[in-house]
Amino acid sequence: MRLNLLLIGICSVFIITSSWLINHDSLSSVVFLKENQQPLHIVSDKFLSFGLDSSLLRNMKKLPINDHKFINLVRHLSPAYVRIGGTNADCLYFEQVCFYKYINYSHNLVDDADISNFTLTSNDFLSIYKFTEKTAIKMIFDLNVLLREPNGSWNSDNTKEIIVFSKSHEMEIDWQLGNEPNSFLHVFNISISAQQLANDYCKLRTVLNELGYQDSILVGPEANHVDNEYKNGVKYGIDFLNNVNNCVDYFTWHQYYLNGHIAQLEDFLNPKVFNRLSEQISTMGNAIRSNGHNVSMWLSETSSAYGGGAPKLSDRFVAGFLWLDKLGYSAKAGVKVIIRQSLFGGNYAMIDENLDPNPDWWVTLMFKQFVSNKVLSLNTPDNFGNIRLYAHCALKQTFLNGLPAVTIYGINLNDEKKRMYIQGISNKSNIFAYFLTSDNLQSSNIFMNGEILRLLSDGSIPPFKPKIIEVSQGIELPSYSMVFLLIDNVKIPSCLEL
C-alpha cells in the first residue's frame, strides 16, 4: 500500500515534471534549416578582419610586430585584412630613410586626443609589411587626406612616395584615404566636402593605376555617425557615392554601439543595444539603394564601444556577445567585410598588452575554424531578442567525409539555459557542439564545453572537443553562452562548391 502510494507519488511527480518540460520546451527555440537552399550571400574570404590604429605607429617600439608570440596569435586568424588606419592616419607623414634614423617624438602617448603630425619612416613601414607577410594577412593602408593644396584639393606627393616605395618592395597592399571625413570639423577644425573627397579618391585611383597598383582595391569614405542622433555620416556617405563614380570598390563606414566612457555591463546584454546594428545597416543600405547605387558595404572600423572601448567590458567575456552577433547579423545582411577595432591596443583589443589572447580572440578563432563565407538562411522565431542564431556553410576542411556540412552559431543572452531544436535536417545528421561560457561575465577567461581555453605551451591551438548530440535530442544552450554547432550530412550541395 505504502509502496503503491509512493509509486503513484513518483509517477505524478514525473508526469508533472515532464508536462512542465514540454510546456517549457514549447517556449524554447525551434529553428528551421531548409535543405537544398542556395547561399543568401557570399561574403569575402577575409570577412572577419581587424584593425591596428594608426596612433600605434607613433611609437613603433611598443608595437609587438616582431614578437613571435604576437605573430603566432595573428597567424591563426589568417586569412584577414589588417587595416592600418584611424584618426592618426591624417597626421601621418611618410619619410624615406636610407639607414636607421632615431626620431624623437615629442608626443609618444597612444592617445586618441593626440592629433599632432608625426613621421613614419620607410624602415618602419617595411617592418609592418613584413609582419603582414609572416602572418599571411593583407594590409589595408589608410593614407593622409589632410595634405592639401592651397586651392583645396588633395596633395598626393607624399602618397606617391609611399606607393613608389611599396612597389619597389613588391608589397601587395589595398588602400583608403582619410578617416571619418564627416567629422573633420570637430576633430581638426577643417572641412572637406564629400564631393571634394570623391575627387580626391578618384585622383588616388589614378595614382594607383599609374604606379602599378591597378589591381589593388580602394575603399571609402570611412564615414562615422550613422546612428539616429547624428545621421550626418549617412548624408556625407551618399554625397560621396553620388560623386565618386567607380573610383571605390567598396563603401565603408564605422560602427560602434556604445560610448566606452559610460557603457555598463547591462548594455552588453541588452537586445536593444544589439539591435542598433541592424538599424544602422538598414539606414545605410536603404540610403544607398534609394540613390540608385549598387555597391557593397564594409564595416571598416567597428567595435562594441568607441573612445578606445569600455574598460573591463570590451576586452572581457561579455564582449563576445556583441561581437559574434555582429558577425552573424552583418553577414546575413550582405556586408562583405567586418574590420574589428582592434587587434591590439585599447580596451577593445583582441590581444592584450602581455600578448595573451582575450576572449574575443578565441571567439574569432572559432569563427575562422568553423564558419565559411557562404551565408545560409535560417528561419528563427525571433532573432532580435535574447537568442540570436545564424547559419553558414561550414568550412570545407572541417569535415573529411566529403558531405556538406553547416555551422549554426549564435548567442543565448538569457540568464538561464534554453532548449533549441533544429528542424529541416535529417535525424541522421550529427551535431558537434561547442559551447563558450565563462566563470563571470567580466572575466578574461573563456571556457569551451567546460574547459578553460589556453594555448598549448608551443603556441598551438588546443584540440577542440565537441559534445556530440543527436538531432532529435535538441540542444541545451547554457545561460549566457555563445555556441557553434557543426552539423554534418546536410543536403545543401552548394556548401561543397568552391
Selected from 31, 57, 63, 146, the binder of ligand NAG by CB under 6 A is 146
Nearer to ligand NAG, 153 or 195 (CB): 153
Q: Footprint of ligand NAG on residues 417-446 (CB under 6 A)?
A: 427
CA distances from 475 to 388, 392, 479 (A): 14, 18, 13
* CA 488 – CA 212 distance, rounded (Å): 45
Selected from 147, 273, 287, 355, the binder of ligand NAG by CB under 6 A is 147
Query: Taking a C-beta distance cutoff of 8 angstroms, is the pair 393, 374 a contact?
Result: yes
246 binds ligand NAG (CB under 6 A): no
191 binds ligand NAG (CB under 6 A): no
353 binds ligand NAG (CB under 6 A): no
Please give the torsion angle defined by the CA atoms of residues 102, 103, 104 and 107, in that order, rounded to the nearest 10 degrees.
-150
Q: Footprint of ligand NAG on residues 278-317 (CB under 6 A)?
A: 294
Selected from 23, 106, 228, 290, the binder of ligand NAG by CB under 6 A is 106
* CA 494 – CA 32 distance, rounded (Å): 18
* CA 443 – CA 446 distance, rounded (Å): 8
Residue type, 224: N
Nearer to ligand NAG, 59 or 398 (CB): 59
In this structure, the strands spanning 250-259 and 297-306 are parallel
36 binds ligand NAG (CB under 6 A): no
172 binds ligand NAG (CB under 6 A): no
Q: What is the DSSP string of 18-67?
A: HHHHHHHHHTSEEEE--TTPPPSEE--TT-EEEEEEGGGGGGGGGS-TT-
Nearer to ligand NAG, 114 or 227 (CB): 114
Nearer to ligand NAG, 182 or 386 (CB): 182
Q: What is the DSSP string of 95-127?
A: E--SS------S--S--TT----EEEEHHHHHH
Residue type, 488: D
Instruction: Mark the segment that binds ligand NAG (CB under 6 A) among 143-151, 302-310, 342-350, 489-497.
Output: 143-151
* CA 107 – CA 104 distance, rounded (Å): 9
H-helix or E-strand spanning residue 338: strand 337-340
Nearer to ligand NAG, 311 or 334 (CB): 334
Is the bond leading into 150 cis (omega within 30 degrees of zero)? Answer: no
Nearer to ligand NAG, 104 or 457 (CB): 104
Q: Looking only at Cα atoms, what is the longest distance across the chain?
A: 103
Selected from 189, 228, 401, 457, the binder of ligand NAG by CB under 6 A is 189
248 binds ligand NAG (CB under 6 A): no
Grid look-up 588633395 returns: 154
Query: Taking a C-beta distance cutoff of 8 angstroms, is the pair 198, 182 a contact?
Result: no
Instruction: Mark the segment that binds ligand NAG (CB under 6 A) among 64-72, 146-154, 245-253, 433-441.
Output: 146-154
Q: How far is the CB of 116 from ligand NAG (least distance, A)?
A: 6
Q: How far is the CB of 141 from ligand NAG (least distance, A)?
A: 18
145 binds ligand NAG (CB under 6 A): no
389 binds ligand NAG (CB under 6 A): no
In this structure, the strands spanning 447-448 and 250-259 are unpaired
Closest CA to 433 of 385, 488, 489, 396: 488
Q: How far is the CB of 117 from ligand NAG (least distance, A)?
A: 4
Cell matching residue 100: 636607421
18 binds ligand NAG (CB under 6 A): no
Nearer to ligand NAG, 43 or 319 (CB): 43
Nearer to ligand NAG, 116 or 423 (CB): 116
Selected from 17, 19, 38, 116, the binder of ligand NAG by CB under 6 A is 116
Selected from 214, 354, 472, 498, the binder of ligand NAG by CB under 6 A is 472
Contact string 215-244 vs ligand NAG (x = CB under 6 A):
------------------------------
153 binds ligand NAG (CB under 6 A): yes
Nearer to ligand NAG, 43 or 146 (CB): 146
448's torsion region: left (phi>0), alpha (psi -120 to 50) or beta? Answer: beta
Q: Which residues bind ligand NAG (CB under 6 A)?
A: 104, 106, 116-117, 146-147, 149, 151, 153, 189, 294, 427, 472
